[in-house]
Structures are given as structure tokens and as C-alpha cells.
Amino acid sequence: MNYEKKNIFEKIIKKEIKSEIVYQDKKITAFKDINPKAPIHIIIVPNKFIKNMNEITIKHSKIIFHMFYTAVKIAKMKNIDFSGYKLIINCNKDGGQIIPYLHMHLIGGIKLSNFIV
């Protein structure tokens, strides 16, 4: 079995684990973080496994754009597009990446000027 098949994000995408999905389409899945750091803390992942930022190539450009586009769409749905939010992508252990699967944090709902994930 491939490592990514064991990954918690893969299980959320396939709905094998219960999660509060806020958006899903053919390319990405977005769900509420189970340990939120702010009132709004959404995780956005590609449906196809990419380990981290270092694995991105030009062939991933559409999916990366779609992740950012979806983050803006969700920010508007959550009414934080004007007040402000952060998009954070951690890469590898020293960069704060805990789960080895490319993912973006959409954080908002509070003042975030000194906020770090």
C-alpha cells in the first residue's frame, strides 16, 4: 500500500474518516481543522497526492492556482474576505509541516498580525 493511501488527508478526501468538509470538487477538498488555531481554520488539499511544496512542478500549476482560488472563494463564503485572513503552506519538519501531504491553511475570524501556524 502506498504511503499516501494511509495519509489522514487521503482518508478525508475519500470520506473514509468523518470530517466537516466545507468544499469539494474534482481537484481539491477543503475541511475544518480538527484543532483550530482561530475561529475560521480551514485546510485545503489537492485530491491528488503531492508530498510538499518541493514536489511541485509546472504540471501542478492548475491545481496550485485552484487551491488559491478556492481559498478566496471560501474566505468570501465565511465573510472574512474584507476583514482579512492568512493563507499558510508549511514545508517539511523545520517549516512546521506535520502531515506529509501538501496542504494550505486558511486562517481568519480574528486579528492575525502576529499569528504563526
List the catalytic residues: 103
CA–CA distance, 67 with 88 (Å, rounded to integer): 12
Please list the alpha-helical segments (H only) found in 1-117: 3-6, 8-13, 61-77
**CB 111 within 8 Å of CB 40:** no
Q: Give the CA diameter of the chain.
A: 44
